[in-house]
Structure 1
Amino acid sequence: MKHIVVTGTGLAVPGLARPLDLLADEPPGTGFDPATALKGKEMRGKDRASRLGLCAADAALRDAGLLADDGTYREAGETTAVVVSSNLGTLETACEFTDTIAREGVTGLSPLGLPQTSSNVVAGWIAIRYGLRGPNLTVCNGATSGLDAVHWACHLILAGRCRRAVVVGVEPASEPAGRLLGQEPRDVTAAVVLESAADATGRGARAHAAVSAYARGADAARTVAATESRAPVPVQLRLATGHLDLTARLGDCSGALGVLQCAAGADHVRSHGTGAVLAVAGGTAADDAAAALLLTTELRN
């Protein structure tokens, strides 16, 4: 059986420079700045979610050693998948189109902006930017969406559909999102690169962590227990409500939460060189399910 490892992580959260900053008691307050990072030639004609996704994906691909100095992708594009998790990424564009139709009718719409209403637009732009021609999909699955996206990316690799995958969780700050969530929204985006341990070793890449287990179910306690039971060592870090809760620090992260957890957890495992991290999303009264994912330094069948 192939073992799946995280070989790259990236982050695009205002005021933070790297995924480990998500776990800091006192974040540095410096780092990613949307005012400057979301501008430039590569960002023109793209919605905010796509621009954020491109920033995080670029950081993760560079961290994985998959980009040349000029930003081109080093490996065969057809061997790499893009999986995006976002529940609200296209909400602002959809609202803008709806408002235009209400004011001017369909003749007031710009055909150039229509692709931005697709839920898969972020994954599409990332694939176009780096020439990634493997499977391309978006998961819009509520609170568990980010962890589900990581799980599906692992299965694409295990099934032989691709050799590696870029997984991005993105939720942009927008006025419609703020109205829907009932709180001030914030740009939250993270990315991880997944590949088989054999492929990582073959190209000389160092793994941050191994994806050791995943479970999803209606009963949160059983889902978490089933995942944690597969840890080869005691879990040192829990990323969940009631423990180290990223939503308490960043607000409602929606579809980006699971990928934020994985990026931070993988970097935590790498920096400590041992241990296990358990990421949990969903499971509240407002959710229809919970998902849990285990990251460790040990490879298990």
Structure 2
Amino acid sequence: MMRQPSVVTGVGLAVAGLATGTSLMSVDSIDGGFDPLVDLGGPQMRHKDRASRLALRSVERAFADAGRSAGTAGSVDHATTATVVSSNYGNLDTVCEFTDRIAELSTAGLSPLGLPHVSSNAIAGWIAIRHRLHGPNITLCNGRTSGIDALYWADNLIGVGRADAVVVVGVEPDTRQVRRLLRAGPDVQVLDGAAAVILESEAYAANRQARARAVLGSRSRAADIDQVVAMFRDETPMPGLWLTPSALPPDTSPLVSVLDLTQQLGECSGALGVLQCVAAVAHLDSGDPGPIYATCGGGPRGDLATMRFLRPRDLATTPFPVRHHAGNFPLDQEGR
């Protein structure tokens, strides 16, 4: 079976003051941007942790950007749309509230109806329920590389035929519990937001005459930024933009534009890779020929993940056969 390339057809943000991916390229807030006080309210947001509410709003915007009405019967191909979420702190506030209640009242003080909310997959579950997505449903909590890892998993789900489309979300909340875990004082900036990306197989996007905004290229892992640069030094053309919180080697940085989203947004943790994808799409939309590289990770583990984003070729307008699948089954060790 020929592997289907994955294309980005829609992006969405739920970050205070930001409206579109273009606003990620600037340090200024945008009038009419996301307002948590207003946008996180409403009946559908009740009884959900902050990360889930942020994620749901970003997904709504991504579906609209992709030209796919969300949350209504017949709006998406339910059985073949997967959900992949990247979040390291996710619903930590809910988990801590439950453990505090157990410490105070024992397990007798818990409500069985609330227990599913403490699952690490709660955010992905809420997205699937809200938008009636019946494809594979996965949450990654893999440290600072988690956002790019989520894009990689989504690309694999499409490539091996498990899904025709994937909703990829990177979300981290700025809550009291998260700040306590990070030992972050009031002067430390921590992301309170979410980014969502709609990935589709090239054939699926062409079949519904969607606009492909970017193509997911190769991905690599390395111990440090010098090793990453060495891998791509001979690539042609050189990247038009490198999205990374790591300083590039001096002999490389003059040749490449570098953007560190953490300078604007603070500690992004597992959301960074998906935020970088949204910024890459905005940069390609502006006419940059690409490719664009994104790197996240680092720290004491010395683990970096890098992904390339490429300008898409023109999609054919003739219909392609689109796979349909029944049921959810884990990939085997051969990725089938």
> Which residue is 1:295 aligned to?
309
> Which residue is 2:88 aligned to?
87
How far does residue 222 in structure 1 lie from its aligned partner after superposition?
A: 2.2
Answer whether contact 1:220 1:289 (CA < 8 A) is retained: no
Q: Partner of 2:112: helix, strand, or coil?
A: coil
Letter in 1 for 2:20: R
> Which residue is 2:10 aligned to?
8
Note the residue ranges of structure 1 that are not aligned, 5 or more in a row. Answer: none
Instruction: Output one character per residue of 1:101-142: Cα deviation in whole Å (capped at 9) or x when no partner.
Output: 111111112222211211111110110111100000000000
Answer whether contact 2:27 2:264 (CA < 8 A) is retained: no
Pair 29,180 (structure 1): closer, same or farther in 2 beyond 3 Å? farther
Answer whether contact 1:213 1:227 (CA < 8 A) is retained: no
1:125-274 paired onto structure 2 within 5 Å: 125-181=126-182, 182=184, 183-226=188-231, 230=235, 232-241=236-245, 242=247, 243-272=258-287, 274=289
Query: TM-score with structure 1 length normalisation?
Result: 0.92
Answer whether contact 1:224 1:291 (CA < 8 A) is retained: no
Answer whether contact 2:141 2:270 (CA < 8 A) is retained: yes
- Aligned equivalents of 2:276 and 2:29: distance in 1? 16
Answer whether contact 1:80 1:165 (CA < 8 A) is retained: yes
Note the residue ranges of structure 2 that are not aligned, 5 or more in a row. Answer: 248-257, 314-336
Query: TM-score with structure 2 length normalisation?
Result: 0.83
Letter in 1 for 2:240: Q
How far does residue 296 in structure 1 lie from its aligned partner after superposition?
A: 1.3
Answer whether contact 2:224 2:302 (CA < 8 A) is retained: no
Answer whether contact 2:189 2:267 (CA < 8 A) is retained: no
How far does residue 71 in structure 1 lie from its aligned partner after superposition?
A: 4.9
Q: Partner of 2:211: helix, strand, or coil?
A: coil
How far does residue 29 in structure 1 lie from its aligned partner after superposition?
A: 5.5
Pair 130,228 (structure 1): closer, same or farther in 2 beyond 3 Å? farther
Answer whether contact 2:189 2:265 (CA < 8 A) is retained: no
Letter in 2 for 1:103: E
Q: Partner of 1:88: helix, strand, or coil?
A: coil
> Which residue is 1:51 aligned to?
53
Q: Partner of 1:6: helix, strand, or coil?
A: strand
Could you tell me the percent identity over the aligned residues? 48
Answer whether contact 1:89 1:172 (CA < 8 A) is retained: yes
- Aligned equivalents of 2:219 and 2:294: distance in 1? 9
> Which residue is 1:60 aligned to?
62
Q: How large is the RMSD of aligned CA atoms in angstroms?
A: 1.8
> Which residue is 2:112 aligned to?
111
Instruction: Give the number of equivalent residue pairs.
Output: 296
